[in-house]
């Protein structure tokens, strides 16, 4: 019953009941799985690239420069969203500044989003097409060429 109440009351909306919107670049608000799903649903109509990362994760650090570059390259045509997991906010914000991440991330201290989506490990990259369907998913480091190719498929 509690799950039904949480779903019915939360519905993925922001705490004030408004539909979720992309946070500011360095806000790093805490999100749970329901709120994440609400945010992804609100972005329908535009392809979305989601990267699940942690500042402490070596492969995440390796792919961060080209995620930043691709976000700038496809700006306005594709939305990018990070999901910072199992981290400290200050370390995460430092990571975002270090790699000049131009897109927002949400904070998931317990990896509820990653786990709830059925992934193990990190990084995880998910590409949603404009209809909100998963077009591509990968656990582990993605290459710049691989991600660019997947983005082009959804444009």
Query: In this structure, what DSSP letter does residue 32 have?
Result: -
CATH classification code of 25-154? 3.40.30.10
pLDDT at 24: 83
* For residues 27-42, average pLDDT: 96
pLDDT at 131: 97
DSSP 91-118: HHHHHHHHTT--S-EEEETT-HHHHHTT
Mean pLDDT, the chain, as a whole number? 89
Q: Using one digit for the tens of pLDDT, what is the confidence trace for 117-154?
A: 999 999 999 999 999 999 999 999 999 999 999 999 99
Sheet of 79-85, strands arranged across: 105-108, 79-85, 48-53, 124-128, 134-139
pLDDT at 118: 97
pLDDT at 77 over 70: yes
pLDDT at 5: 30
Query: Which stretches of 26-143 are DSSP H helices?
Result: 33-42, 58-73, 89-98, 112-116
Q: Using one digit for the tens of pLDDT, what is the confidence trace for 59-68?
A: 999 999 999 9
pLDDT at 87 over 90: yes
Alpha carbon distance 14, 37 (integer Å):
11
Query: In this structure, what DSSP letter does residue 76 have?
Result: T
pLDDT at 19: 58
């Amino acid at each position: 019953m509690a799950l039904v109440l949480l779903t019915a009351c939360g519905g993925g909306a922001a705490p004030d009941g408004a539909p979720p919107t992309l946070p500011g670049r360095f806000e790093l608000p805490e999100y749970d799985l329901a709120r994440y799903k609400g945010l992804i649903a609100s972005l329908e109509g535009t392809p979305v690239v989601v990267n699940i990362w942690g500042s402490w994760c070596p492969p995440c650090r390796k792919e961060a420069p080209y995620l930043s570059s691709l976000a700038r390259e496809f700006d306005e045509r594709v939305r990018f969203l990070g999901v910072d997991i199992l981290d400290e906010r200050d370390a995460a914000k430092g990571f975002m500044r270090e790699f000049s991440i131009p897109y927002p991330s949400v904070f998931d201290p317990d990896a509820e989003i990653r786990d709830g989506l059925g992934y193990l490990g990190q990084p995880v990259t998910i590409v949603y097409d404009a209809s909100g369907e998963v077009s591509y998913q990968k656990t582990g480091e993605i290459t710049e060429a691989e991600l660019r190719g997947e983005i082009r498929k959804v444009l």
